[in-house]
Amino acid sequence: MDLAIFDLDNTLLAGDSDYQWGEFLIDIGVVERAAHASINDQFYADYKVGKLDINAFLEFQLKPLSQHPRAQLDAWHREFMQQKIAPMMTEKSRALVEQHRANGDLLVIITATNSFVTGPIATAFGIANLIGTVPEEMNGEFTGKVTGTPSFQQGKITRLNEWLAERGQGLSDFGTTWFYSDSHNDLPLMKLVDKPIAVNPDPILLAYAEDHAWPIMSLR
């Protein structure tokens, strides 16, 4: 059996779910544009150039989850899926997932975006295994804090190894390991797998992929 690992934002999705969740909250009036948008934009810019302070970002991004009941958040998320996510799920992305599924591969999405935002997206792709940053819960409600290691940069390796260990497996147990990503932030994990694939890569990843003769593809 092979292991097919997919990054989510700007890889399987033609956009960033974390960023769009912030925009959605602005659109429906949950947070004020003046107070939220410029900070959200700056964090996104930092991410793209590899300078994101993940802890500061998570404190900012998870705060709205702690300010509203879970039932209300879930209702908003259903709207979010229809308005923001569905248009970003391309036919090429779906076809790639189905290709690996047809091959009998183990499928997993690994993303720095929190699992509240990304869980229903993984389900929409038919992928049962999700490794995302885990927002802390208490009595079924979010606290605004993080549980465990954020799955970002080197943290993706940590979280993947933890997940595999829970299954009694390691990367070496698979015939071939694949990882699809758009971002140079994922280079630590891309360097570990057998088949790193640069998907609509950012300029830094594009240059690295070209230098190392990695496959480059588009899902747009």
Compute the distance between CA of residue 34 and CA of residue 137 in angstroms, rounded to an integer. Answer: 28
Q: Above 80 in pLDDT, residue 15?
A: yes
Cβ neighbours, 10 Å, residue 72: 11
| Over residues 199-219, mean pLDDT | 98
Please report, as a single letter, which amino acid is at residue 35. Answer: A
Structure tokens at 133: 């940053």
Q: Are 7 and 186 in contact (CB under 8 A)?
A: yes
**Residue 90 backbone dihedrals phi, psi, to 5 degrees:** -80, 160
Q: Alpha helix (H) ranges present in the chain?
A: 17-27, 33-48, 54-66, 70-80, 91-102, 115-124, 154-166, 187-190, 203-211
Mean pLDDT in residue range 118-125: 98
Q: What is the pLDDT of residues 20-33, one digit of tens each?
A: 999 999 999 998 88
For residue 56, give Cα distances in angstroms to 39, 51, 68, 134: 11, 12, 20, 15
pTM here? 0.94
Active site residues: 7, 9
- As a whole number of angstroms, the distance between CA 48 and CA 185 comes to 8
Q: What are the residue boundaries of the structural domains of the chain, listed by start?
A: 3-217
Of the two residues 36 and 165, the one the predictor is more confident about is 165
Q: What is the CATH number of domain 3-217?
A: 3.40.50.1000
